[in-house]
Structure 1
Amino acid sequence: MKQLLLLFVTASLIVACSSVKQTEKAVATGNYDQAIETALRNLRTNKDKKRKQPYIVLLEDAFAKAASRDLERVNFLTQENNPAKLEELYNTYLRLQSRQDKIRPILPLAGASFKMENYTNNILNTKESLASYLYGNANKLMQTNDKLDYRQAYEDFEYLNKVNPGYKNTRELMKEALLRGRDYVLIKMSNESDVVIPQRLEEELMSIDTYQLNDLWSEYHNEKQKNFNYDYQMELAFRNINISPEQIKERQLVQEKLVPDGYDYELDGNGNVKKDSLGNDIKVEKFTKVTCQYYEFTQFKATQVTANVNFTDLNTKQLIESFPIASEFIFEHIYANYQGDKRALATDLLNYINARSIPFPSNEQMVYDTGEDLKAKLKSILNQKPI
C-alpha cells in the first residue's frame, strides 16, 4: 500500500512539474492567454497550497504582459484612427475585459497583485463607432449593383447585428442584401431523343430536394416564375435513348456426376466379408453415375441514355460549361428446366430450375430504371457546378 501511495505521489509531482514548465514556456513564447488558462485551471482548487505558488507567479506575470501588449495595440489603433480597424480595436477591448473577468473569481491570491481597469466605456464607445462604420460601409456597397458587393454588405450587416442587435434597420437591409446578392438558377429539361421520358422520372430528375442544391447564395427553381430575373440556367438535355429488343438467350448443358448409391461389403481374397477390429462387417460406399440435360434461358433487355448538362449565363447568353452524362440499365432474368437426374447438376444451377419466366419490363419502365444512376451522376456534376 505504501509503495502504491509513493508511486501516486511521484506521478502527481511529475505531472505538476510538467504543467508548470508548459506554462513557463507559454509565457516565454508570448502565448500569454494560454498560460493564463493553464494557471487558472490549476488554481481553481487548493489555491493557497504551497505547490500552487508557481502558478500564481506565472498568472500574475502572464496577465501583466498580456494587458500591456493589448494596451499598446489599443494606443496604436487609437492614434492611427483608421475606421477599418475599429473591429480590431473593439475586439481588443473585449479581450482585455474578458481576461479580467476570468481572473476575478479566484482573487485574492497570496502575494499577487492584478491591476484591474474598467473598460466598459471604451467598449460601448468603440461598439457605437464600429456599428456606424459597418452600417455606412455596407450601405455604400448596396449602391454598386454588384452581387459580390451585396454579399459583402450582407456579411457586414450580419456582423453588425451580432455586435449591436437592432441597430437602425440592419435586419431589413440584411434581408435585402441576401436577396440581391443571391444567384437564381432555372432548371429545365429537354429531350431530343425519340423516346418519351416517363413523367415520374422527369419529376424526380427535376426535384431540387433530390440534390440539395440551395445554399445561402444560390436558389434553384424548377418552374419559371413570372417577373423574375434568373442569372443562370441548368439544362439536362437528353440526346439519345436506346432500348434493345427483348431477347431470350438459350444454352444447353449435359452434366454427369457420381452420386452415393448405397453400399457394398468389402470382401477378402476368399470372398468372405471383412471384419474390423471390433468384429463388425466392413462396408464400402457405392457410387453410381447420373446424367442430367440442363436447358437455361436468359431474358435480356438493356437501355442506354446519353445527355448533356449545360450551364448558361442568362445575362450574357453564353454557355459556361457542358458536361456529358451517360447511364445504362440492364434487365436480366435467368430460369431453366431439365431432363434426367437433377443430382448431376452443379449447385449454382439448382436455383435456376426453380425459377420461371417473367414479363419483360416495358420501354417506359426501362427508361425509368436508369433514373437512380442518372440522379447520382447528375448530383456529382452539380457538386462541382461552375456557377
Structure 2
Amino acid sequence: MIKKLLLFSFCISLTSCSSVKKTQEAINYGNYDQAINIAVKELRRNKIKKGNQEYVFMLEEAFDKATIKDLEAISFLEKESNLANLEVIYNKYLNLKNRQELIKPLLPLPIHNKSRNAKFSFKDYSTSILTTKNRLSDYLYAKAKESLISSTNKIDFRNAFDDLNYLNKINPGYKDINYLIEEAHFKGMTFIFVSLKNQTDSVIPMRLEADLLNFDTYKLQDLWTVYHNNRQPQINYDYKLSVNFREINISPEQIREKQLIKEKQVVDGWKYLTDNNGAIVKDSLGNKIKVDKFKTITCKIKEITQFKSVQVVGQIQYFNLGTNQLIQSFPLSSDYIFENHYGTYIGNKNALEKVQLDLLANSHVPFPSNEQMVYDSSESLKNKIKNIITQNRLGY
C-alpha cells in the first residue's frame, strides 16, 4: 500500500513538473495565452497550494507580456489607417477583455513569500470594443454591398455572404443585413440544369427517367450548388449536365441446364457379421454380432439457370451555358444481370447434398420484361452518375 502511495505521489510530481515546464516554455516562445491557460487550469484546482506558487508568478508575467503585445499590435494597425485591419483590432480588444475575465474568478492570488497578492493591471476595454465593432460593422456592410452591386463574380458574392454572416454574428440585426445575406447567397449559387437524352432505339421507362433525374436522392445539393431537372424561368443557369443514353443492349432470355447424378451409401437394415469363411462372428459372451447393412441410392438432378442481362451505355456531358461550350465529357456504363437458379430431380433425393436441396426449394419464375431490366439497372446507374459528379464538381 505504501509503495502504491509513493508511486502515485511520484507520478503527480512528474505531471506537475511537466506542466510548469510547458508553461515556462510557452512564455519563452511568446505563446502567452497558452501559458495563461495552463496556469489558470492548475490554479483552479488549488490556488493557495505552495507547490502552485510558480504558476502565480508565471501568470503575472504571461498576462503582462500578452497585454503589451496586443496593445502594441493595435497601436500599429491603427496607425496604418487600413479599414481591413478593423477585424483584427476588434478581436484583439476582445482578447484583452476575455483574458481578464479568465483570471478574475481566481483573485486574489496570494504570493506567500512576499506577503502580497499577485498584481494584474486590468482595464475597461468596453468602449474600445464597441467603437471598433461599429466601425467594423460599417466597413463589412459597405464592402459586401459594393460587391453585390458592382461585381459579377460568384466568389465575390460568396465572400460577401461570409462577411455578412460574420457581421450578423457580432452585430445581429444590423440594418437590412438579413435581406443582403439572402441576396449574396442567391447570387453566389451555381445553378445546374440536368437533362436526360435517349439516343437509343429502346424506350426508357418513365419511372427510370424520373428516378435518375431526382437529384435529391443523390445528396449532392450543398450551400452553393443546386441541381434542377425542371427549368425555372427566374433562374439563369450556369451549367447544363446532360445524361445521354446511347445504347441499351439486352440479351435474349436464356435457360441453361446441367445434369448431375449423385450417389450415397445409406443404412438398409442389419445383418450378422461374418468372417472370411462365411461363419458368423460372436462376441466374448457368445452373442452374435450385428452390423449395419448398406445400400446405394441414386438421384439424378437437373440444375437450371435462368439468365438475362442488360447493358446501358452512355455519357455525361457538362456544358457551360455562359459560353454554350462543352467543357467535360465522361463515359457511362452500367450492367444488370437477372439470374434465377432452381432444380428438378428423378430418383431418391436423400442422395443429394444441401446445395442441391436448396436448389429444389426454388422454382421457375417469369423473366423480367425488357423495361423492368432497364429500370433494375437504375441503382448502379445512379451510383456511377453520383461518382462522376462528385469527382468533377462544377462551380468551385
TM-score higher than 0.5: yes
- Mapped to 1, the partners of 2:167 and 2:155 lie a distance apart of 18
- Mapped to 1, the partners of 2:135 and 2:322 lie a distance apart of 39
Q: 2:211: which partner in 1?
A: 204
Once the two structures are overlaid, the 10-residue window that deviates more, 254-263 or 234-243, is 254-263
Q: Does 1:361 align with 2:368?
A: yes
Measured at CA, do residues 283 and 38 of structure 1 come closer, stay the same or move farther in structure 2, by a change above 3 Å?
Answer: farther
Q: 1:234: which partner in 2?
A: 241
Which digits, 9 at most, give the CA deviation of each residue in 1:119-154, with x for residues without a partner?
111111111111121122222222122222211221
Paired letter, 1:105: P
8 A contact 1:184–1:230 mirrored in 2: yes
Which digits, 9 at most, give the CA deviation of each residue in 1:186-207, with x for residues without a partner?
1111111122121222111111
Q: 1:40: which partner in 2?
A: 40
1:57 offset after TM fit, Å?
A: 0.9
- Mapped to 1, the partners of 2:319 and 2:250 lie a distance apart of 30
Q: Does 1:138 align with 2:125?
A: no
- Mapped to 1, the partners of 2:32 and 2:234 lie a distance apart of 58
Q: Does 1:14 align with 2:14?
A: yes
Q: Does 1:120 align with 2:126?
A: yes
- Mapped to 2, the partners of 1:279 and 1:71 lie a distance apart of 114
Once the two structures are overlaid, the 10-residue window that deviates more, 101-110 or 41-50, is 41-50
8 A contact 1:335–1:353 mirrored in 2: yes
TM-score (norm 1): 0.94
**Structure 2 gaps, min length 5:** 112-117
Among 161, 169, 175, the alignment partner of 1:154 is 161
- Mapped to 2, the partners of 1:172 and 1:104 lie a distance apart of 41
Percent of aligned positions that are identical: 49
- Mapped to 2, the partners of 1:13 and 1:308 lie a distance apart of 68
TM-score (norm 2): 0.92
- Mapped to 1, the partners of 2:283 and 2:133 lie a distance apart of 104
1:254 offset after TM fit, Å?
A: 2.4
Q: 1:52: which partner in 2?
A: 52
8 A contact 1:245–1:301 mirrored in 2: yes
- Superposed, which structure 2 residues align to 1:260-271 within 5 Å? 260-268=267-275, 271=278
Which digits, 9 at most, give the CA deviation of each residue in 1:69-97, with x for residues without a partner?
11111121111221111111111111111
**Number of aligned positions between the proteins:** 387
1:361 offset after TM fit, Å?
A: 0.9
Q: Does 1:300 align with 2:344?
A: no
Q: Does 1:378 align with 2:385?
A: yes
1:15 offset after TM fit, Å?
A: 2.0
8 A contact 1:320–1:386 mirrored in 2: no
Once the two structures are overlaid, the 10-residue window that deviates more, 18-27 or 264-273, is 264-273
1:54 offset after TM fit, Å?
A: 1.1
Paired letter, 2:368: P
Q: 1:314: which partner in 2?
A: 321
Paired letter, 2:274: L
Once the two structures are overlaid, the 10-residue window that deviates more, 293-302 or 186-195, is 293-302
Q: 1:69: which partner in 2?
A: 69
- Mapped to 1, the partners of 2:350 and 2:58 lie a distance apart of 87
1:346 offset after TM fit, Å?
A: 3.7
Q: 1:351: which partner in 2?
A: 358
1:280 offset after TM fit, Å?
A: 6.2
Q: Does 1:84 align with 2:90?
A: no
Q: Does 1:186 align with 2:196?
A: no
8 A contact 1:251–1:295 mirrored in 2: yes
1:282 offset after TM fit, Å?
A: 4.2
Paired letter, 1:26: A
CA RMSD of aligned residues (A): 2.0
1:241 offset after TM fit, Å?
A: 0.9
1:267 offset after TM fit, Å?
A: 2.9
8 A contact 1:321–1:386 mirrored in 2: no
1:59 offset after TM fit, Å?
A: 0.8
- Mapped to 2, the partners of 1:6 and 1:148 lie a distance apart of 63
SS of aligned partner of 1:44: helix
1:270 offset after TM fit, Å?
A: 6.2
Q: Does 1:99 align with 2:99?
A: yes
Which digits, 9 at most, give the CA deviation of each residue in 1:28-54, with x for residues without a partner?
222211111111111113311211111
